[in-house]
Amino acid sequence: MISMHTSPLQQPGQGDAGGMNVYVLNSAKKLAEQGIDVDVYTRATRPSQGEVVEVAPRLRVINVVAGPYEGLEKEDLSTQLAAFAGGILVFARCQDLSYDLVHSHYWLSGQVGWLLRDVWQVPLVHTAHTLAAVKNSHRAAHDSAESEARRICEQQIVDNADRLVVNTHEECRDLVTHYDTDVTKVAVVPPGVDIELFNPGSDRATERSRRYLGIPLHAKVVAFVGRLQVFKGPDVLIHAVAELLRRQPYRNVSVIICGGPSGASTRPDHYIELARELGVDRHIRFLHPRPPEELVTIYRAADIVAVPSYNESFGLVAMEAQATGTPVIAARVGGLPIAVAEGETGTLVDGHDPSDWADALEAMLDDDETRIRMGEDAVEHAAAFSWTNTAERLVSVYNDVLVSEGVEPCFRRHAEGV
């Protein structure tokens, strides 16, 4: 696997780390558990990482030096594609490694995967996670556009990859609409959720979580988890809360925003200042990104988790929240209508008008019976998605592409221990 711009071991919710990191790490772990040897190549960002990290039996992360450890924005990483690809080739040659297949994640990795596919003469499977054309068609008016250079690179990957893996059928349609993709090359493989970690806990889990976080026990709590960038919509939630409190100034509502700034244009204190300007700063608490083991506490402490993104290929935060028994209010975009069962485990909002979001928050916060019922149903809904299922579907995709290339489906052999 190739994940050039962000390591699967990096803390999600800060910098460029997010749902893709969760996807790569968890799918790789489950593939390894099935007996498949997986190396994940990523760009080294500090010397203390070491070249090889043994994550689990059969799973390694290889840190490749390509450019300076620090000081390179994601937008500048394309200047290091040759150095990164060269580092992979040198490592594989020195270790006398051979691979059956390359699976690249995101367009930067896809460009490298395209080269390695031809050098090693093995199939290339690619997962975009996000697409420039789709992001540009959904972005907020004040958000910066993705470059035409990225869109061209994505088109090259789409044209040359042996198989394209997407999270939802809507993503498949996006590839066809924006990149003229051959639909027979596309495989839909939904992501999973760690239902062993993300669960409702015991009867007093909400109370204990609130005490741990220092949240009033009787407040209505709304949580946001994710990178603090325009595309994720934290400003939509902040404006919606301001509207909610304008309607009812003494409403007992607390908001947790957990995440770190992402992107060169986002200042660390931007959203803190926005909350202060709108006069809602005493209702909103900002937390630094948390590892999954601590995110569970935030999800359990919340009455609602808000996902106001302008687009999501799937929406892992929404699924994690539901697995803990917390209903979700999400934008009706991308894969979120699949991640959230509208009317059953949450509510979908058309658009990003803060007034509409305030309406949705008000309705769910004031209807305890429906909100509690949605939380109970959410656990069952999330249980249908697991990383084991994701890995099994990926094994099927890998074998299918090998067969189409005239190669014996070796992953089935490994998985069955033959």
Distance (Å, whole) CA 374 – CA 59: 37
Distance (Å, whole) CA 325 – CA 378: 6
Distance (Å, whole) CA 382 – CA 386: 8
Q: What's the one-letter identity of residue 11?
A: Q
Q: Are 296 and 324 in contact (CB under 8 A)?
A: yes
Q: Of 409, 413, 406, 416, which is closest to residue 121 (Cα–Cα)?
A: 406
373 three-state secondary structure: helix
Place of tokens 């409190």: 245
Known binder of ligand: residue 11?
yes
* 221 strand-pairing partners: 254
* 305 strand-pairing partners: 223, 328
Known binder of ligand: residue 16?
yes
Known binder of ligand: residue 192?
no
Q: Are 322 and 340 in contact (CB under 8 A)?
A: yes
Known binder of ligand: residue 232?
yes
Q: Which helix (H) or strand (E) holds 222?
A: strand 220-225
Known binder of ligand: residue 21?
yes
Known binder of ligand: residue 20?
yes
Known binder of ligand: residue 325?
no
Of the chain, the end-to-end C-alpha distance in Å amounts to 23
Known binder of ligand: residue 334?
no
Q: What's the one-letter identity of residue 186?
A: V
Known binder of ligand: residue 79?
no
Known binder of ligand: residue 168?
no
Known binder of ligand: residue 106?
yes
Known binder of ligand: residue 51?
no
Known binder of ligand: residue 251?
no
Known binder of ligand: residue 382?
no
Q: Are 305 and 328 in contact (CB under 8 A)?
A: yes
Known binder of ligand: residue 388?
no
Q: For 291-320, b where at least 16 C-beta lie within 10 A, e where not — what string? A: eeeebbbbbbbbbbbbbbbbbbbbbbbbbb
Known binder of ligand: residue 30?
no
| Contact partners, residue 44, CB within 8 Å, separation at least 6 | 51, 63, 64, 65, 66, 69
Known binder of ligand: residue 58?
no
Distance (Å, whole) CA 145 – CA 149: 11
Known binder of ligand: residue 155?
no
Q: Which residues are annotated as a binding site for UDP-N-acetyl-alpha-D-glucosamine?
A: 11-12, 19, 227, 232, 290, 312, 320
Q: Which residues are annotated as a binding site?
A: 5, 11-12, 16-21, 74, 106, 130, 150, 227, 232, 290, 299-300, 302, 312, 320, 326
Q: Which residues are annotated as a binding site for 1D-myo-inositol 3-phosphate?
A: 5, 16-21, 74, 106, 130, 150
Q: Which residues are annotated as a binding site for Mg(2+)?
A: 299-300, 302, 326
